[in-house]
Every structure is written in structure tokens, then in C-alpha cells.
Chains A and B, each alone.
Chain A
Amino acid sequence: MIDTPKIRLKGLHKQFGPKLVLDSIDLDIMPGESMVIIGGSGSGKSVTLKCILGLLHPESGSIKVDGEETIGMRQNDRKRIQEKFGMLFQGAALFDSLPVWENVTFGLLASGKTRRRDAKDIAIENLRSVGLSPDVALLSPSELSGGMQKRVGLARAIASKPEILFFDEPTTGLDPIMADVINELITERVKEMGATALTITHDMSSVRKIADKVAMIYKGNIIWSGPRNDIDNSDNAYVEQFIHGRAEGPIQMEVLKT
């Protein structure tokens, strides 16, 4: 029996005015799989993620979650799908006006699934699972370092025990050691929860640590996808150039030379 993909993208097309961002994205992510999308800045990674999350609306194409078409979905159905999602944003996107514990349990409190008096304990438990001590719960997000903010963001993403986790550039702006800590945490938590994960990044050490499968996006199309171990033998000049970080190759950066 063939499993239904957890997420299936078919012919996804998105443009902003005359600027084409996604040409025709086709991608399947199977249940329990950790898929990492790589690609340069402006290649369409974030837009793909935001289309799946329902934050942007594609002009055409199909996005299926557990076999259910999400484009054009009614608001109540969209909310039901949304409850399957957890997301770690690039800048953590913690709510400045709330203390850390309320940030972590925001989704649970807002949906009424948790009572306020129980929320702090749940937050502390989730903070522990990302290596943060209970006293962090009472701090404000502005009092945390970048690495701590990412970990609180991760705790918030996993607090409602979602089926699908999204990570947007999880290691950007972190030192290599903290980046590895975050990669490690992501791998552990995703495995422990049995969740499906979709990460977008251009950090190759994240790819090697997090990914089961890798897809490369270039000019709004998936130009290569395969298991993580095949990425070094992809026979694809674009992938080769990207993973080795070479300036010379088929990918030309738009840099004006004087």
C-alpha cells in the first residue's frame, strides 16, 4: 500500500506583480519524513513555506495536507488543518508583550485547550525539553539571547504537539555551536514526536544533521530532490555549486561589478 503524502505540492505558482517567485513547484513529503529545502536567497523557499502555512495565496497549483486540498478551503477547515502545524520562525517571532511562558502556551491558551493556571507548568515542561531552565519562563523575550529565543520559539512550536513542524532558517544568526545545539534539538524533538518536518535553509550543516530528504529550489522550481546521502553525488551542477558554496557555476548571483 502506498502512503498518502503528508504534504503534496503540485504545480505551485506564485508571483508578486510581474516578479515570478514560484514557477511550478512539485514536492511530496511523506509522513514522519524530515524534508529540507535548500536554495539561495530569493529562490522561493520562504514563499513555498508561507503558501503551505496559508500565509500567502498561490495563483495556481495544489497544496494537499493528508490528501486534503487546502487552497480555497473554508476558514473552519483551514483552522483544523492549521492545528496540525507548528512553526519556528527565522527571527523566532516571539510576542514582545508576553512573558516567555505565555509565548510557549499561546496556542493552547488561545484555543481554550489549556486553563491559564495549568499553562505555566506546561510551558516549563516544554522549556525543559529544549534545554531551558524554569526561571526563563518569567522573563520577557527581549531579555533572551538569540539562541535562547530560538529555543523558546521551538518550545512554542512543539507545545501543542503538532503533526507537522516547519522550520524557517533555524540556525540563521547563531554561532556554529549554538547552531548545532538547535539542529540537535530539532532532530531529537521531531523524532520523539514522530512528526513530519519541513525545513528551509541554506546552512549545509543543518541539512546534513536534520534532513532525511533534500530538495533544491532554483528560480521557482525544484531542480533536484533525493535522500540526504545522495546530495554529494547528485550529478547536478546547480546542487554541486550550492553545497560547495562556489561563486563560479551555473547559478549566477545578480551582483553589479564595477
Chain B
Amino acid sequence: MNFLAVIGRITFGFLQAAGRLGIFAATTISHMVTPPFYFRSLIQQMMTIGYYSLPVVGLTALFTGAALALNIYEGGSRFNAESALPTIVVIGIVRELGPVLCGLIVAGRVSASMAAEIGTMRVTEQIDAMSTLSTDPFKYLIAPRVVATTLMMPFMLVIVADIIGVMGGFLIATGKLGFNAGNYMDLTMDFLEIKDIYASLTKAAVFGFFISLMGCYHGYYSRGGAQGVGIATTNAVVSACMLILLSNYIVTEIFFAT
């Protein structure tokens, strides 16, 4: 086999996929900002994505905050820095763990379900049927999902994850590690900057956009029946998680690189 031909084929395939994704994203954004808007569908998606993800996001944040507090206390005690626990918990949760863990959980839950739903609609000709009924699938199916996820991630899920995550650390610190509740809260509030909150919400919005974009993109281009839908679902989750971790670094660099 010609080695150069293989490299060429892989490069060509990658560029083709990147171009198709770029066009898909641009089309989605243009449909997000131009009428008609399907508010009914948007509210339904906001409920499904935001409200119904709250329990799993809340539990994840609670246990992560608690475990983080234990780890920092034990690690900090090696050089007499236990008192830094509230500061590290709040910065760790708000800047990093809240948005990233929430993003990964929502990617697993929402991106997979979007890819499966839209993929099934594709292979059963429901998307074609929508087009013949003078309804643009980008407007009716994709734009409401992307808008809903991009709004719900920062303004519901990550805010809740940040608060519950900090609360998890607080409960362990005051209940088990002997911290004074008043002092703990004072230290938390003193060291939390507005910039940390902006970074957290920016990350959440970016993650939300990528989660829904990947779910919709892989579902929309799925083919080949049940197996195709299965592949689309897996690809949606994997690519959403990769984009979350990549964009997490980029947003952190933008906000905090000195």
C-alpha cells in the first residue's frame, strides 16, 4: 500500500469532516438568530436539558466538593496549610471542577440523547418529512436545542454545580474536619473573585454550545439504521467530551494566563 496515499486520504477525510462541521455550525448560528423562532420547542428543550439534569449535576458536584475538601486537607497538612482549604475548594470548584464535571455529565446525558433522537429521525425519514412540510429542520430541531443548552449550562446547571460543590466542601470541613462555619464562609467569600465567576459561566456557555452542536451534528448526519444511530451517539459523546477539555484549556488561558 502506498504510504503517502494513506496519509493523503486521512488528511482529506479530516479536512472534509472539519469543513462539514464548520458549515453545520455556521448554519446553526445563523438559524439561532433569525426568525421564525420556535419558542414552544425552546422551552421544552430548556426543561429537558436544564431542569431534568439538575439531580445528577447536583449529586456529582456535592460529592466532588466533599472529596476535594478531604484531599486538600490531607495534602495541605503535609506542609501545615490546612487553613487554605476553603480558598482552594472554592477556586477549584468554581473555576474548574464545576463547569468541567457538569459539562462532561451533560455531554453524556444530553449529547447522546440528541444524537439518538435526531439520528432516528434521520433514518426514519422524519427529517425529510419535516422539510416537505415547509419547516427547516435547523430552525425547528437544531437551533432550539443549541440555544437551550447554551443558556441552561451557565444560568442553571453550572451555577447550581458551583454552589453545591462549595457546599459539599463546607459540610465536610465543618462537620468532620473541625472548621468553624463562619470562618469558612468568610474565607470562601474573601478569596472568590468576580473574574472566577465570569470564567465559570463562560466555560459553561462554551461547553453547552459544543455539547448540543456535537449531538445535533452527529445525529443529523447519521445513516444506516440502528447501527448508524449507535455510532452517531458514541461519536457525539466522545467528540463533545474532547471539545469540552480542549476549550476548557483555551478559556482558562484567556482568563487566567499571566
Q: Which of B117-133 contact A (CB under 8 A)?
A: 117, 120-121, 124-126, 128-133
In the complex, what distance in Å separates the CA atom of A33 from the CA atom of B225? 35
Given contacts A106-B135, A110-B135, A111-B134, contact A87 B129 (CB under 8 A): yes
B36 within 8 A of A: yes
Is A54 located at the chain interface by the 8 A CB criterion? yes
Contact yes or no, A55 B126, CB < 8 A = no
How distant is the Cα of A50 from the Cα of B131 in the complex, in angstroms? 11
Interface residues of B in 86-138 (CB under 8 A from A): 117, 120-121, 124-126, 128-135
**Contact assessment for A89 and B125 in the assembled complex, using a CB-CB cutoff below 8 Å:** yes
Beyond A110-B140, A112-B36, whether A91 also contacts B132 by CB under 8 A is: no
B66 to chain A, nearest CB (A): 38
CB < 8 Å neighbour of B128 from A89, A94, A156: A89
A residues in contact with B133, CB < 8 Å: 106-107, 110, 156, 160
Is A53 in the interface zone, CB < 8 Å from B? yes
Q: How far is the CA of A50 from the CA of B125 in the complex (A)?
A: 11
Q: A110-B140, A112-B36 are in contact. Are A96 and B126 (CB under 8 A)?
A: yes
User: Interface code A193-236, partner B: CB below 8 Å = 1, 0 otherwise?
Assistant: 00000000000000000000000000000000000000000000
| A55 B131 Cβ-Cβ under 8 A | yes
- Closest residue on chain B to residue A84 by CB atoms: B134
Selected contact of A93 from candidates B38, B126, B135, B140, CB within 8 Å? B126
Cβ of A85 and Cβ of B132 under 8 Å apart? yes
Residue of B nearest to A97 (CB): B117
User: Is A90 among interface residues, defined by CB-CB distance under 8 A?
Assistant: yes
The answer, yes or no, to whether A83 is at the interface (CB within 8 Å) is yes
How many pairs, one residue from A and one from B, have CB atoms within 8 Å of each other in the complex? 55
Q: Which residues of B contact A85 (CB under 8 A)?
A: 132
A82 & B131 in contact (Cβ 8 Å cutoff): yes
A91 with B134: CB separation less than 8 A:
no
Q: Give the residues in chain A near B134, CB-CB below 8 Å.
A: 79, 82-83, 107, 110-111
Is A93 a contact of B125 with CB atoms below 8 Å?
Answer: yes
Q: 10 closest Cβ contacts across the A-B interface? A: A107-B133, A93-B129, A93-B125, A110-B135, A87-B132, A82-B134, A89-B125, A93-B126, A55-B128, A83-B134
Residues of A within 8 A of B (CB): 50, 53-55, 79, 82-83, 85-87, 89-91, 93-97, 106-107, 110-112, 156, 160, 166
Interchain residue pairs with CB less than 8 A apart (9)? A53-B132, A83-B134, A85-B132, A86-B132, A93-B129, A95-B126, A106-B130, A110-B135, A156-B133
